[in-house]
Structure 1
Amino acid sequence: MRKQRQPRSSQGHTRNCLNDLIDTQGFAIIDGALATELERHGADLDDPLWSARCLMEAPELITRVHRDYLEAGADIILSATYQASEAGFRSRGLKPGEARDLMRLGVRLARDERDRHLRRTTRLNARPRPLVAASLGPYGACQHDGSEYHGRYPASWREVQAFHAARLDVLADSGADLLAFETIPSRPEAEGIADLLAAQDGPPAWVSFSCRNDVEVSHGEPLAECLAALDHHPRIVAAGINCTAPRHLGPLLQSVAGSELTLIVYPNSGETWVSGENRWRGEGNADFDVEGWYRAGARAIGGCCRTGPDQIRQIRAALTRAAELSGPPGRHG
């Protein structure tokens, strides 16, 4: 199994909170799908803002979903900001300042529910303090056309980077423990994000890619090349795969076995998003090979689209078994 690096300091930050958590218990559990659970609780997300619509109309539902995931065993909860942007909120009549306030609200809702969870459970268990990650989706996610699953944008990379810069300016100082750049479909978009992170101070970040097969990210570059381009970055402490069919994860992890980054994986259910129909199609696969992914080097594992608290409970049970078999906690080499 690959050797794991020691925690690195990011600019202005002396602690890598993600790897501190992994060192404590041997793994970290990321929460599951936000939109799936919001819809289950009655939210109408047939909207370009998707889950971010609830920041405007039903923030109490977001809080409820965070609570469900924390109670299911999640160590990391992601804010409802994946598709939030100033442009998206302005299209609904909000002023720029109001849009930025809503983006910060997404992080505050997660932090507040994390803190309530700690007050409820501190005497009941000895789990590490959960982390809050500010979610930042790719440029394509805010186009509402499914292009986060192929990365072929009708925009220059300069425009894509400007899109990320505007959201990073808001969320970098929102109080999140981590920044989570999710479902990134290409190496150029990831490298643009890395350049932005290198130019400013702020919390540590991870970058996770959507992948189309056993080797390549959605745009076509090998995942191994994408992770190599992020290695030794002062702010990026982890990288990996999300919103990808579970059947691809084993081979993808094998393809990046030499990476020194902490590896994260949180697949979708195995269904396929059809943007023209605005829905998921196909059969889901709830049989996550969590212990196999752990043996292959993944240390932060969770779920993405079409997963829920039940999957998170199962992941926690599987990772607890895997960590016990591996010996003392840590990012085992």
Structure 2
Amino acid sequence: MTAADAAARAGAPSPARPDPIADWLAAAPRLVLDGALATELERRGADLNDPLWSARVLLEQPGLIRQVHLDYFRAGADVATTASYQASFEGFARRGLSHQAAADLMRRAVTLAAEAREQFMQEPAAAGRRRPLVAASVGPYGAMRADGSEYRGDYGLDEGALMAFHRPRLQVLATAGADLLACETIPCLAEARALARLMDELPAGSTRSGWISFSCRDGAHTSQGEPFGDCVAALDGFPGIAAIGVNCTAPQHIAPLVAAARARTAKPIVVYPNAGEAWDAVAKRWLPHAPGVHPPAFAEQARAWEAAGARLVGGCCRTGPADISALLRR
């Protein structure tokens, strides 16, 4: 029996659920997230041509992950998002890893971010900075499939089946020492609800709150095609969800999505779009902008997102420490 269960049976109030996002925003106008991890690792020479994607680097080059986290802190990020997006028991099992070995790698992802934070806090650049947060990344079911379905949805699974998939990995990540959970690139409401319900299952003393961010196909719909505002409203009552928003979506769609979310919830809005290029899920590569197309700088576009009401802002695929630094400078 958990402490929360015991308190409920005794008629006592449940233990308070820590909310590091609310604590941060009570003292600051915004929370600056980091940028991409996987594409930044790739830019630094890591081979991500693998169904495990960035989780492969947990196995082969953990020190490189730690260095990327450190560089984001140095660039001004207040949050490090761990290299556990693609980490799942099913994915690691296909590589011949046991359940215990897979769980240890998920914990390693959190440890690497925490080690980078400790190193940063000893540096002169940390003077006057609040202690950054570590967010344990929880990728969608589609990330395990490694077929781009996190940008389509329509898995053919109901909410209960999605809970069964996420439950064991969420239980590991929630007890690994992260400050919050980052449930990200979620293509559909069913998966978002599954994760929200699982947060409410987690015992007191574990990491029980965080954000849920959707992948979206345009300025009004999730990747599966559901009205984004309706999805936000459906999540509004879950106590574990400390912020709701969108990530890994084209930057030009972000401002209207923020406005739609702001109209349906009082929770903080989180946004971290990609750099604006299109992803070819078949060829597994980013497509360059069309000739003559020169979108505004990432940091400049972020002005519109904040003006629309976003309070947690960062970057996703193809963004890097320079983008986060530019976002801070503006």
TM over 0.5: yes
- Paired residues for 1:5-20 under 5 Å: 12-20=15-23
What per-residue deviation string (whole Å, max 9, x for no partner) do you get for residues 68-96 of structure 1? 10110000010000000111111111111
Q: Are 2:242 and 1:237 equivalent residues in the alignment?
A: yes
Within a 5 Å distance, the mapping from 1:1-333 to structure 2 comes to: 12-121=15-124, 125-201=127-203, 202-203=206-207, 204-258=209-263, 259-283=265-289, 285=295, 287-288=297-298, 289-318=301-330
1:11 to partner: Cα distance: 6.2
Q: CA RMSD in A?
A: 1.7
| Identical-residue share of aligned pairs (%) | 48
Determine the C-alpha separation between the residues in 1 that align with 2:105 and 2:306: 36
Given that residues 59 and 105 in structure 2 are in contact (C-alpha distance below 8 angstroms), is that contact kept between their aligned partners in structure 1?
yes
SS of equivalent to 2:262: coil
Q: Deviations over 1:141-179 (max 9, x none)?
A: 110100000102144443222111121111011100000
Helix, strand or coil: the match of 1:256?
A: helix
1:184–1:190 Cα contact (<8 Å) kept:
yes
Q: For structure 2, list consecutive stretches of 5 or more residues without a partner in the other structure.
A: 1-12
Q: 1:151 to 1:11 in 2, by over 3 A?
A: farther
- CA distance in structure 2 between the partners assigned to 1:43 and 1:107 by the alignment: 19
SS in structure 2 at match of 1:24:
coil
Q: Distance in 1 between matches of 2:73 and 2:99?
A: 32
Q: Does structure 2 conserve the Cα–Cα contact (< 8 Å) formed by 1:164 and 1:193? A: yes
Indicate if the aligned counterparts of 1:33 and 1:304 stay in contact, CA closer than 8 A: yes
* 8 A Cα contact 2:158 2:190, kept in partner: no
Give the secondary-structure state (helix, strand or coil) at the position aligned to 2:212: strand
TM-score, normalising length from structure 1? 0.89
Corresponding position of 1:326? none
Helix, strand or coil at the partner of 2:195? helix
Q: Distance in 2 between matches of 1:170 and 1:80?
A: 14
In 2, the alpha carbon distance for the partners of 1:164 and 1:14 equals 21
2:34–2:77: 8 Å Cα contact kept in structure 1?
yes
Change (3 A) 1:190 1:155: same
Kept in 2, the 8 Å contact 1:246–1:285? The answer is: no
Distance 2:16 2:277 in 1: 39
CA-to-aligned-CA distance 1:275-305 (integer Å, 9 cap, x gap)? 1101111328462322221121100100000
Match of 1:181, SS state, is: strand
Q: Deviations over 1:97-142 (max 9, x none)?
A: 01100000000000111111112137x5312110000001100011
Q: Which amino acid in 2 is paired with 1:106? A: A
The 3 A distance-change label for structure 1 pair 272 and 44 is same
Measured at CA, do residues 231 and 157 of structure 1 come closer, stay the same or move farther in structure 2, by a change above 3 Å?
closer
Residue 198 of structure 2 aligns to a residue whose secondary structure is helix
Other structure's SS at 1:50 match: coil
